[in-house]
């Protein structure tokens, strides 16, 4: 394997100068707000539906953590783009796609949307067969209880999954934290505290005490990342505030 790809960055798709300027400005604006609240918070740039050249604009200023929602799109981008990108899978995770995700994205850094023991087994087993790197896992919690949202609803199910990840049967996954997508209503409510984020913080407390963890929290998107950081988020996932609006779902 070649050791460096950055010296030959011209082989990667490049943005126009004006698009690059716009993206860097947007990213730096968000990063400044994030760091003003907590310099340790990780900012994941969510690039779904956006071209590889947009990713390269931020890559060229040193950004490495990018989030994607669709396995096919992620596989294609990971093949096309530099291998030192740390990809976060943040989309709805289907059992049937775990194997591809594990096998076809060699530099998959984290899967943030793990919501069942079965999917953990599939991710792990596919990686073991390929002898790939360890994948960081965030267990998704359905804090709002909305039907259309994925995530664990019962602490007991989540603990069963934790026990599997900690066991000798699971060598290729590492539990790093909890993740949630707060409800839109809660994000817009103007409550002093976002109850969905508060709930995730409570689950973390229980688990940290019981298992002596210090779990990360992935919570906060364009509309609510500042609130999320105030409530203890360690990882915010920001898309439209960096890359601009996406086409509505129905058009995709
Ligand atoms: C799309 C998406 C984001 C980014 O959303 P924005 O509102 O555009 O910042 C963050 N997290 C998840 C899980 C997403 O699907």
Q: Where along the chain do its domains lie?
A: 12-243
Predicted confidence (pLDDT) at residue 5 exceeds the cutoff of 60: no
Ligand 1 mean position to 192 CA, how many Å? 22
Report the C-alpha gap between 176 and 10 in whole angstroms: 35
The top-level CATH class assigned to 12-243 is alpha beta
User: To test the ligand 1 pocket, which listed residue (34, 43, 67, 142) has its Cβ within 8 A of the most ligand atoms?
Assistant: 67
Confidence of residue 8 (pLDDT cuts 50, 70, 90): low
Residue 235: in which H helix or E strand, if any?
strand 235-238
Query: pLDDT tier at 130 (50, 70, 90 boundaries)?
Result: confident
Contact present, 211 and 177 (Cβ < 8 Å): no
pTM of the full structure: 0.94
Phi, psi angle pair for 130, to nearest 5°: -90, -5
pLDDT at 76 exceeding the cut of 60:
yes
CA of 49 to the centre of ligand 1 (A): 11
- Give the separation between CA 199 and CA 197, rounded to whole angstroms: 5
Residue 88, C-beta contacts closer than 8 angstroms, at least 6 positions apart = 44, 65, 66, 67, 68, 109, 110, 111, 112, 237
pLDDT for 38 beyond 80:
yes
Q: How far is the CA of 129 from the centre of ligand 1 (A)?
A: 31
Which numbered atom of ligand 1 lies nearest the CA of 48?
1
Cα 99 to ligand 1 centroid, rounded to whole Å = 23
Report residue 70's pLDDT band, with 50, 70 and 90 as the boundaries.
very high
**Does the pLDDT value for residue 238 go beyond 70?**
yes
- 29 closest CA partner among 226, 252, 177: 226
Rounded-to-integer distance, Cα 41 and Cα 33, Å: 11
Closest CA to ligand 1's atom 13: 90
Mean pLDDT across the stretch 212-229?
A: 97
């Amino acid at each position: 394997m070649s050791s460096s790809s950055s010296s030959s960055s011209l082989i990667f798709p490049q943005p126009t100068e004006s698009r690059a300027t716009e993206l860097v400005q947007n990213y730096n604006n968000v990063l400044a707000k994030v760091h003003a609240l907590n310099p340790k918070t990780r900012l994941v740039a969510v690039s779904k539906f956006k071209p590889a050249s947009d990713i390269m604009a931020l890559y060229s200023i040193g950004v490495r953590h990018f989030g994607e929602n669709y396995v096919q799109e992620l596989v294609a981008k990971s093949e096309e783009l530099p291998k030192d990108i740390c990809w976060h899978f943040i989309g709805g995770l289907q059992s049937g796609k775990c194997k591809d995700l594990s096998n076809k994205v060699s530099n998959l850094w984290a899967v943030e949307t793990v919501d069942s023991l079965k999917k953990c087994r599939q991710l792990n087993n596919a990686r073991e067969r390929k002898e790939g790197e360890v994948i960081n896992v965030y267990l998704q919690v359905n804090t709002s209880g909305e039907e259309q949202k994925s995530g664990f609803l019962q602490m007991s199910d989540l603990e069963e999954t934790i026990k599997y990840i900690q066991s000798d049967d699971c060598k290729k996954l590492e539990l790093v934290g909890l993740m949630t997508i707060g409800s839109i209503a809660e994000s817009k409510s103007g409550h002093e505290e976002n109850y969905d984020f508060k709930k995730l913080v409570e689950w973390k407390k229980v688990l940290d005490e019981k298992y002596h963890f210090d779990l990360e929290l992935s919570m906060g998107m364009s509309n609510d990342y500042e609130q999320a950081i105030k409530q203890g988020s360690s990882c915010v996932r920001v898309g439209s505030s960096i890359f601009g609006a996406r086409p509505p779902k129905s058009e995709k």
